Amino acid sequence: MSTDPANQNQPESAQDSIETDAPQSPRAFSSGTGAVCQFTGIIYMALAAIYWFASGRLHLPVKDRIDVITEYLKPENIVFTMATLNVLAGFAGGFALAAFGVGLQGEQRSSGVGAMVTAILLVIANIIGAVGCVAFGPAWFAAFVFTVAAAANTILFLLAGYSSAILKQHPPPPDQSIVDDAWIEEYHRKRRERRGF
């Protein structure tokens, strides 16, 4: 028993709980990454939706009506095309990140891989958007926004990759709620013991 005067005034149950605290699970980082991915995905979807509805007030209308899909690639329309594609990518990527974030909080390694793939695709889309805005605009503010988004998605990629590696090295315990043959056999054995035969 401890002879520390500070511990002598504490109940034994409190001392026992202090001495027997279990170390934090190494998978806690993956759960935290899942929460970050989920929150970021929701933010991406919200920003994409807000920008989509407000874009008519933020940009001047195109000079000529676009009737052919190839006209989206004209130099005077390419910035709008880049913005539209990145808004769609941001909404779809945000939805995917939110879904994979929930999976990571449930300690599913496949969700970490999915979050990595989603993040790297968003990085590619952001880089293409930034380069397009500088080359065909130049739209410096939009290029800056795309660059910041690419940096944020790179961080998400690294977090998801590390979380996936943690879950590979320290897999979660098997699901105790699965009813298999061994569980049924154990159930019947205990039932027979209670009945006395």
Spans of all domains in the chain: 26-58+72-171
pLDDT band at 189 (very low <50, low <70, confident <90, very high): confident
Please state, in angstroms and rounded to a whole number, the distance separating the CA atoms of residues 86 and 48: 9
Output the pLDDT for position 175: 61
pLDDT band at 197 (very low <50, low <70, confident <90, very high): low
Kindly write down the DSSP assignment for every residue of 127-175, as one continuous string: HHHHHHHHHHS--HHHHHHHHHHHHHHHHHHHHHHHHHHHHHHSPPPPP
Mean pLDDT in residue range 150-161:
94
pLDDT of 35-83, one tens digit each? 999 999 999 999 888 887 876 666 556 566 666 667 766 777 777 777 7
- Is residue 16 predicted with pLDDT exceeding 50? no
DSSP class of residue 78?
A: H
Specify the higher pLDDT residue, 69 or 192: 192
Please state, in angstroms and rounded to a whole number, the distance separating the CA atoms of residues 67 and 169: 54
Contact residues for 167 (Cβ-Cβ < 8 A; gap 6+):
27, 30, 107, 108, 109, 112
Please state, in angstroms and rounded to a whole number, the distance separating the CA atoms of residues 157 and 165: 12
pLDDT band at 141 (very low <50, low <70, confident <90, very high): confident
Please state, in angstroms and rounded to a whole number, the distance separating the CA atoms of residues 10 and 75: 75
Mean pLDDT in residue range 175-194:
76
Nearest in space to 15 (alpha carbons), one of 2, 28, 33, 32: 2
Specify the higher pLDDT residue, 51 or 154: 154
pTM of the predicted structure, to 2 decimals:
0.68
Nearest in space to 157 (alpha carbons), one of 81, 100, 196, 106: 100
pLDDT of 84-138, one tens digit each? 888 888 899 999 999 999 988 888 888 889 999 999 999 998 898 888 778 877 7
Work out the burial of residue 129: count CB atoms within 10 Å of its CB; fewer than 13 is exposed, 13-18 middle, 19 or more buried: buried
DSSP class of residue 3?
A: -
> CA-CA distances (angstroms) from residue 72 to 65, 69, 138?
10, 6, 17
Tokens of 113: 């891989």
